Amino acid sequence: MTKEKAPSTPEEGKNPDPILDPFWSPAKVQEMSDQWLEELKPLCKTDLEIKLSESVTKLFARQCQHLEAINTQDRAIGHLQEQINFLKGGYDEICLLHDQWKKTIWEITVRQRDFVEQINKAMRLIKIRLTKAGL
């Protein structure tokens, strides 16, 4: 029974999706918020509408930043899960080898015991024959 050898690192098994640098940095949040506010200002007629637009654009930009952070966390969790699965596979392989090793040691021990018993029996027979022969 041939078994395919497991890769020595998770990267050999699959090309993991690298976790990229965040697009929505604090500077980018402020930049996009200002850009959206400039687009909305011509539509605002009162100071209240301008303040509301300013708040909404900041909140929307921050929401985009939060969504990106959640997405990054999900990808990181997925990458860690792949590593856990890889390590579990290695652990399972080691457990199988350990069980086979224990079985082999047991078989060697039993066979050695049987061999020692056969040798002792043969030695007793030789001693009996030597005493009968008078030697």
- pLDDT tens for 89-121 read 999 999 999 999 999 999 999 999 999 999 999
Is residue 2 pLDDT above 50, yes or no?
no
Asked whether 61 and 36 are in contact (CB, 8 A), the reply is: yes
- pLDDT tens for 36-77 read 999 999 998 999 999 999 999 999 999 999 999 999 899 999
pTM for the full model? 0.56
- Closest-CA residue to 14 (of 80, 62, 82, 67): 82
Asked whether 8 and 93 are in contact (CB, 8 A), the reply is: no
- pLDDT tens for 21-42 read 778 888 989 999 999 999 999 9
CA dihedral 110, 115, 118, 119 (to 10 degrees): -140
Residue ranges of domains in the chain: 20-133
DSSP-derived 3-state class of residue 130 = helix
